[in-house]
């Protein structure tokens, strides 16, 4: 699992160089329409491990942040790793956790490698006042450097740059080295009991700092900005425009450099992934091992003039890579499945593959039929998202199909996009009378999903009645 990687970086026709992901695409199945439930590390990762949505697993924000409203999985919530451990799997965890404030992977069935990060079980939430105290009296740079974003009273943020090996980005090489060593140790123990290995990297998370040799693989003259880059979002929530304002310091040339650095960072992560594939093949265990490549959430990477991820409910923040390889358990490798799938589907998929009964309800559904290329009737035709905002609170719920997208913003006006005519989400049609039926129908979808997943954002008080249609339409 990478962090912040866009789903389109592993698909046909993209500009990203990923030879190792291409290896498992050739020998596996690519899910081209895979999405996370929330554009934030902790809630998305909690969904990956539980098969549940935030309203169910209870994680809404990054748990270590001072104003997070929850810090641990809800009582009674179980992860698939616990089932695997109880079934006798040998479990190894390397890299980023970022699911709970009080628990580490060891509390959820894993044997933890020394370099595991995002484990806050021995820490307290940070207030960060000390960080700002150190800035007191310091003046901002006289001139803004390349890629810099300067906001008075905040640390200078530089969106992209280079970081040379061996001081490589964010310690991901060390995470993969520990994972490779763990794989060797698991193999040496023998094949009497199965094993499971998780490797969680932090790239290509912003800022996009990557070794120069990967940047050299991309010619800046070949880099194009997204079609929506110039969208001023005048028909969208003010929060969106305020978010874009943060990045308006960047020139178009800097924006193209940021895209270039992001792509190079994905290629760097791909090289690390290749080390895991090489070791798996070297040990002779590739045929009967499920390999999954995915990310927790995406990155706008220039969409609508935005970077990183946040409240604006655009595709780039939610669309993630999801590729699976399982030579012994799949049919007709090399296929691309374009059904709507979710990180919530990973848990039931692994449970079924391991022959473990799922004795609890999940929002996710098993992807095994797609791996076997079997007929799968009644698959979902809509995808839902749930967020209460990234660090700052902003209740938002959305539903989308391949034709329409409806976004309920509790903090501002809502949105509707005709994805057939407007795939880049440029024109908000929520007030267009020709789409009134879509708004009502899709608000009903949002509220029904809210009801079915235990969502409580249905306060009827007069000053919070901001949905186009209230929760009663769930029962129509």
| pLDDT band with cut points at 50, 70 and 90 for residue 352 | very high
Rounded distance between C-alpha atoms, residue 301 and residue 299, angstroms: 5
Q: Give the pLDDT confidence score for residue 168 in this predicted structure.
A: 67
Tens digit of each residue's pLDDT (9 = 90 or more) over 428-460: 999 999 999 999 999 999 999 999 999 999 999
Strands of the 90-95 sheet, one edge to the other: 111-112, 90-95, 195-200
Q: Give the pLDDT confidence score for residue 165 in this predicted structure.
A: 62
Average of per-residue pLDDT values in the chain: 95
Q: Say whether pLDDT at 322 is over 90.
A: yes
Closest CA to 92 of 15, 193, 165, 179: 179
Pairing of strands 322-325, 29-35: antiparallel
Q: Give the pLDDT confidence score for residue 51 in this predicted structure.
A: 98
Q: Say whether pLDDT at 122 is over 80.
A: no
- Percent helix, percent strand, percent coil in the chain, to nearest 5: 35, 15, 50
| pLDDT band with cut points at 50, 70 and 90 for residue 114 | confident
Q: Give the pLDDT confidence score for residue 141 in this predicted structure.
A: 86
- Mean pLDDT within 320-344: 97
Whats the size of the chain, residue-wise? 476
Among 136-145, 293-302, 429-438, which is the least confidently predicted range?
136-145
Cα–chain center distance at 43: 9
Tally Cβ neighbours within 10 Å of residue 295: 29
Strands (E), 178-334: 195-200, 208-210, 291-294, 322-325
Closest CA to 38 of 417, 305, 317: 317
pLDDT above 70 as % of the chain: 99
| pLDDT band with cut points at 50, 70 and 90 for residue 137 | confident
**122 vs 322, higher pLDDT:** 322
């Amino acid at each position: 699992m990478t962090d912040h990687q866009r789903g389109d970086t592993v698909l046909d026709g993209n500009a990203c160089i990923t030879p190792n992901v291409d290896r498992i695409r050739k020998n596996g199945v690519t899910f081209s329409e895979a999405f996370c439930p929330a554009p934030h590390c902790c809630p998305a990762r909690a969904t990956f491990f539980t098969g549940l949505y935030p309203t169910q697993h209870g994680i809404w924000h990054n748990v270590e942040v001072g104003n997070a409203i929850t810090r641990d999985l809800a009582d009674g919530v179980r992860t698939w790793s616990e089932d695997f451990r109880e079934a006798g799997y040998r479990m190894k965890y390397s890299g980023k956790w970022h699911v709970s404030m009080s628990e580490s992977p060891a509390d959820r069935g894993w044997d933890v490698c020394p370099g595991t990060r995002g484990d806050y079980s021995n820490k307290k939430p940070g207030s960060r006042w000390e960080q700002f105290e150190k800035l007191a009296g310091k003046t901002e740079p006289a001139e803004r450097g390349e890629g810099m974003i300067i906001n008075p009273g905040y640390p200078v943020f530089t969106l992209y740059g280079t970081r040379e090996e061996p001081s490589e980005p964010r310690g991901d090489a060390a995470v993969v080295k520990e994972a490779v060593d763990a794989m060797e140790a698991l193999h040496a123990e023998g094949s009497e009991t199965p094993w499971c290995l998780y490797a969680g990297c932090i790239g290509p998370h912003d800022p996009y700092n990557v070794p120069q040799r990967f940047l050299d693989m991309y010619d800046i003259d070949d880099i194009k900005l997204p079609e929506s880059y110039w969208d001023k979002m005048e028909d969208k929530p003010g929060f969106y425009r305020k978010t874009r304002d943060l990045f308006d310091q960047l020139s178009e040339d800097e924006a193209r450099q940021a895209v270039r650095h992001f792509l190079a960072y994905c290629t760097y992560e791909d090289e690390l992934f290749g080390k895991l594939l090489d070791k798996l093949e070297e040990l002779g265990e590739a045929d009967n091992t499920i390999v999954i490549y995915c990310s927790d959430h995406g990155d706008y990477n220039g969409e609508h003039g935005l970077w990183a991820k946040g409240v604006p409910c655009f595709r780039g923040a939610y669309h993630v890579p999801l590729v699976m390889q399982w030579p012994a358990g799949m049919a007709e490798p090399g296929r691309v499945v374009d059904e709507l799938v979710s990180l919530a589907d990973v848990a039931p998929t692994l449970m079924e593959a391991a022959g473990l009964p799922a004795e609890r309800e999940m929002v996710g559904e098993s992807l095994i039929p797609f791996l076997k290329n079997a007929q799968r009737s009644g698959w979902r035709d809509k995808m839902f998202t749930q967020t209460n905002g990234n660090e700052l609170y902003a209740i938002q719920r959305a539903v989308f199909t391949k034709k329409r997208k409806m976004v309920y913003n509790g903090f501002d006006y809502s949105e509707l996009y005709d994805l057939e005519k407007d795939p880049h989400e440029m024109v908000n049609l929520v007030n267009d009378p020709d789409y009134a039926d879509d708004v009502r129908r899709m608000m009903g979808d949002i509220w029904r999903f809210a009801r079915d997943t235990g969502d409580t954002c249905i306060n009827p008080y007069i000053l919070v009645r901001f949905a186009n249609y209230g929760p009663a339409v769930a029962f129509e």
